[in-house]
Copies of this chain bind each other. A is one copy, B any other.
Amino acid sequence: MAGRRGEGDEVVTTPEAPADVRERARSIPEAAVARLAVYLRVLSGMVDQQVTTISSEELAGAAGVNSAKLRKDLSYIGSYGTRGVGYDVEVLVSHIERILGLTRKHSVAVVGIGNLGHALANYGGFPSRGFPVAALFDIDDDLTGVPVGGIPVDHIDDITTVCAEREVSIGVIATPPQAAQAVCDRLVSAGVQCILNFAPVVLQVPDNVEVRKVDLAVEMQILSFHVARRADEAAGELVNGVGVDGVVIRP
């Protein structure tokens, strides 16, 4: 690790990304990035409560991870803690925000204004975290022009021009599964490089496009697996004539 530390970078809040930071960001494990986002949320809550300093132990507890992992995660973005004291909450927030690229606004387009699309368009969590919803699309002519959550719905055929105009950088697909791949292709050809996919379909995209998927049925099935596994384990213990809590139960 050739991580020679910069001399001064620690103190000054740098809105730009110097070469040093660039190099670090490249090598942060995917899993760590996801956790950094969680730390950021927790830290934002701390700021609201006027907490100025926090130790790795406390932050780890609040984020649901162990402290060693937390410190390692933070070390990927630099050394911004003070030994014997902990981390300055605001400093940490600003560094995580920079690493996650939250210093720029990322306009979002939601495609498919059904139940889920409506919910997403009205969801306050996006704008408040720097992801303004800038465009809505649907294939239904009856919907186009009608505003949802304050934003008028455009027809899906206008994706290319509207996305370009409003500098959309993230596309959210909330269409039925049959339409998802076609919508995805249009978003990609409109220059959108990041896609959040709620449709239960595996999207095919070029290498330069990043897709993350949220599949509710898959989440349910994973939970179902755990229920089944537990039931089976209990059954397995019953075979031995002993229940989970040591109580003997008849087979």
Please classify the interface of chain A as helix (H, G, I), strand (E, B), loop, or mixed, using the class held by over half of its residues: helix
A139: Cβ under 8 A from any B Cβ: no
A22: Cβ under 8 A from any B Cβ: yes
Flag if A202 contacts B17 (CB, 8 Å): no
Flag if A218 contacts B25 (CB, 8 Å): no
* Interface CB pairs A-B, < 8 A, 21: A17-B228, A17-B232, A19-B239, A21-B232, A22-B235, A28-B225, A34-B218, A37-B222, A64-B204, A101-B224, A106-B220, A115-B119, A123-B216, A126-B220, A131-B220, A131-B224, A170-B223, A193-B230, A194-B227, A196-B220, A210-B226
Question: Closest chain B residue to A131 by CB distance?
Answer: B220
Q: For chain A, which range describes its interface: under 10, 10 to 19, 20 to 34, or 35 or more residues?
A: 35 or more
CB neighbours (8 Å) of A25 from chain B are: 225, 228-229, 232
User: Within the oligomer, what is the number of copies of this chain?
Assistant: 2
CB neighbours (8 Å) of A194 from chain B are: 223-224, 226-227
Bound CA–CA A29/B228 (angstroms): 15
CB neighbours (8 Å) of A202 from chain B are: 38, 42, 62-64
- A102, chain B: closest CB distance, angstroms: 6
Flag if A225 contacts B101 (CB, 8 Å): yes
